[in-house]
């Protein structure tokens, strides 16, 4: 497994995304870094991850047809007690203020 570390490695990887997803990916990166500066950005398996103490907290996955934002199963901030399904990944089609606020809250909770 080859790992590249740092903001520049993550931004370079996100820069490879199709134009419509590149801007979303770069904005997601900014939101994650602003919300949880303690997370270390890395690229592993060709995917930007944000880790803390060796544990995957969240990630951004780009493809030619989508961009996905998700969390590691063990730190899922969207977990709801009593629910029978728990979201861990979302396909992001646009970022508006309410969506950004939701992402900030989830990242902050997951990283704490």
* Domain extent listing, the chain: 3-111
DSSP character at residue 27:
H
Cβ count within 10 A of residue 6: 12
Q: Does domain 3-111 have CATH number 3.90.1150.200?
A: yes
- DSSP3 helix / strand / coil % (the chain, rounded to 5): 40, 25, 35
Full pLDDT tens readout for the chain, 112 residues = 567 899 999 999 999 999 999 999 999 999 999 999 999 999 999 999 999 998 999 999 999 999 999 998 778 898 888 989 888 999 999 999 999 999 999 999 999 9
State the pTM of this model.
0.91
Evaluate whether 89 touches 71 at the Cβ level (below 8 Å): yes
pLDDT at 8: 95
3-class SS of residue 40: strand
Q: Please say whether the beta carbons of 81 and 71 come within 8 A.
A: no
Using left for φ > 0, alpha for ψ between -120 and 50, and beta otherwise, residue 86 falls in beta
Residue 1's pLDDT is what?
58
């Amino acid at each position: 497994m080859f790992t590249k570390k740092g903001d520049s490695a993550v931004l370079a990887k996100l820069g490879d995304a199709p134009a419509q997803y590149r801007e979303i990916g770069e904005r997601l990166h900014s939101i994650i870094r602003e919300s949880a500066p303690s997370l270390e950005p890395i690229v592993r398996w060709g995917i930007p991850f944000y880790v803390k103490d060796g544990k995957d907290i969240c990630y951004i996955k780009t493809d030619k047809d989508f961009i996905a934002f998700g969390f590691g199963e063990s730190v899922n901030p969207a977990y709801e007690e009593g629910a029978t399904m728990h979201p861990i990944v979302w396909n992001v089609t646009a970022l508006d203020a309410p969506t950004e606020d939701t992402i900030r809250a989830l990242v902050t909770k997951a990283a704490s």
